[in-house]
Amino acid sequence: MAPHHDLLEQARHLAKREPTRPHPASLRRAVSASYYALFHFLVAKGARLIAPARPDGLRAQVGRAFVHTDMKALCRQFAGRTGSSDHVRPLLTQPLDPGLILIATRFLELQEERHAADYGMSQNFTRFAVLNMTDDVQRAFDNWAKIRSTPNTAVFLTALLLNRQWSHA
């Protein structure tokens, strides 16, 4: 099974681990695993698009170059929270597919939730909310089949890695 599917399975397991009263630590780790499931999903798709299968190890090396903050900045653009940058906008066909907007939005929301889970000890999570997060990630995975071959998706995946570099060109 792919690492992103394993992480999502782990998130669900942690959210359901204690049958009556879930431990806060289990729910926090489930939130984090949900975010990382989507992160690694996008990294895998981006590395596959950008790097050939040979030589061995090239895709994995490219995958290591994806940066959380750069991905967040691009997802803000695709989610409509900021305007598209001048180097990405001309590459896009409007309107953006709602599925692509959904994935960008989920990435932003989950990254914020992960930060709260990992660093904001005053925030509490419920099993219901955490399982909704895992369902959101699953919907993003399921939605991928509808958008994976579109030109805008290719721009999105490439810009997840190169958006910051393009802005300096």
Q: Is the pLDDT of residue 169 over 70?
A: no
Global pTM? 0.94
| Domain total of the chain | 1
Mean pLDDT of the chain: 93
Q: Is the pLDDT of residue 164 over 90?
A: no
How many angstroms separate the CA atoms of 34 and 22, rounded? 17
| pLDDT for position 121 | 82
* Residue among 53, 44, 31 nearest 4 (CA): 44
How many angstroms separate the CA atoms of 32 and 159, rounded? 24
Q: Is the pLDDT of residue 17 over 90?
A: yes
As a whole number, mean pLDDT of residues 149-160 equals 96
C-beta atoms surrounding 77 within 10 Å: 20
Share of the chain above pLDDT 90, in %: 85
How many angstroms separate the CA atoms of 128 and 116, rounded? 17
pLDDT in tens, 51-63: 999 999 999 999 9
pLDDT in tens, 67-111: 999 999 999 999 987 777 778 888 999 999 999 999 999 999 999
Q: Which domain holds residue 22?
A: 3-167
22 CB-near residues (< 8 Å, 6+ apart):
15, 16, 127
